[in-house]
Structure 1
Amino acid sequence: MPGSKKGSPARTFLLLLLVFIAASFLGYAFALGNPDVAIDAVKKIAEEIGPISDSSFKNFVLIFTNNSMVALFMMLSGLLFGLGPWFIMAFNGFIVGLVVRAIQLTGELSTGQIVLGIIPHGVIEIPALAVAGVAGIIWYREIVHGDEEAGERFRRGTVKALRLLALSILLLLVAAFIEAYITPSIAGIG
């Protein structure tokens, strides 16, 4: 069956999503045991990001630009023996879990608001980042495996990776639009 063999892009995609989800639970569990550390970490993240603009368009551009850079980094990190995307997905998942628990601890938003603040765009954004990770892993696998000359394997891998990166960025465009324009009103945080 196409796409079902070990190491297939579909399997890699699903495993990257599972890594993100598992790391989210780990981040949440860490924050349960270390609430002060979680709150301090979220404060530092908020300082790094800066204030949220009153302009949905500015937020859209910031979100899209940031996430596109993460996607590009995800793809390029795949060239590090195919391992980079796994670590990036785990790190991002851990941070999401940590942030969710820290926001709960502050009491500024209800659990429902937190969920509604993540789910509408997250169901597109997280898979989009996983697609970028798959792009990098495929690129690495194409370079390392095959009978063709190294230059041909690199070229073929690059083309495959860039096609998947383009899909990822298109999905991130949609996710950023939802996050900037729709999520705040749905979650009651706008």
Structure 2
Amino acid sequence: MGRIGRYFLYLLLALFAGIAAGLAYVRFQPGMAFEYMERLARQFGSISENPFRNFVWIFLNNARVALLVVVAGLFFGVGSGFVIFANGFIVGLVVGVLKEEGIPVKTLILGLVPHGIVEIPAILLAGAAGMCWYRRIMESEDKGKGLKEGALQALRLYIVVLLMLLIAAFIEAYITPNVAGL
């Protein structure tokens, strides 16, 4: 397995750890979890009746997160893991709160899986790109050259990530609501 594959697996573990932490937070601090969920809902606003508007918003938000994850990799190679852990925490928190609110587990799964199959690997790939960029800089004797080469590799991977996020946003805006009955 190559470097990108190893980083991808490390980041997948960070995501799962974040999800577990978010679920535990709901279990052990339900009042604070519900308050945090309300703040998130206010921050993100309501879902539009217009699927195209949702598609654009979802894509732009996820592209921003993916770019943050790439750049965070430059922080000693571990910044991507922190951002992905935090996003996993939010997923765990949202799932935990919605489950406590009585949303059936089947609905939660159908609300996450269709687009998550594409979106999660895209975000993890963005993190692996950032970690590879940092590694390229550190391994290069000429740090400027390593910075440029790593940036080009990260940019190529980020373009792939953007294409994956376009697909995921389409699924989330047009297919997930119908499949999950939302």
Q: Segments of 4+ in structure 1 off by > 3 A?
A: none
Match of 2:59 among 43, 64, 74: 64
Quick one: distance in 2 between partners of 1:59 and 1:139? 32
2:18 is equivalent to residue 23 of structure 1:
yes
**What's the offset of the Cα at 1:73?**
0.8
Quick one: distance in 1 between partners of 2:59 and 2:79? 21
Quick one: distance in 2 between partners of 1:177 and 1:154? 34
**What's the offset of the Cα at 1:150?**
2.2
Quick one: distance in 1 between partners of 2:41 and 2:162? 24
User: What corresponds to 1:43 in structure 2?
Assistant: 38
One-letter identity of the residue aligned with 1:131: L
Q: Deviations over 1:138-168 (max 9, x none)?
A: 1111111133x22221111111110111111
User: What corresponds to 1:146 in structure 2?
Assistant: 140
2:155 is equivalent to residue 162 of structure 1:
yes
* Greater percentage in helix: 2
2:81 is equivalent to residue 86 of structure 1:
yes
One-letter identity of the residue aligned with 2:178: S
Structure 2: stretches of 5+ with no match in the other structure:
none
Structure 1: stretches of 5+ with no match in the other structure:
none
Is the contact between residue 35 and residue 105 of structure 1 (CA under 8 Å) also seen in structure 2? Answer: no
Q: Deviations over 1:5-26 (max 9, x none)?
A: xxx1101101101210122012
Quick one: distance in 1 between partners of 2:39 and 2:147? 40
Match of 1:106 among 98, 101, 125: 101
**CA RMSD between the two structures:** 1.0
TM-score (norm 2): 0.96
Quick one: distance in 1 between partners of 2:61 and 2:51? 15
User: What corresponds to 2:164 in structure 1?
Assistant: 171
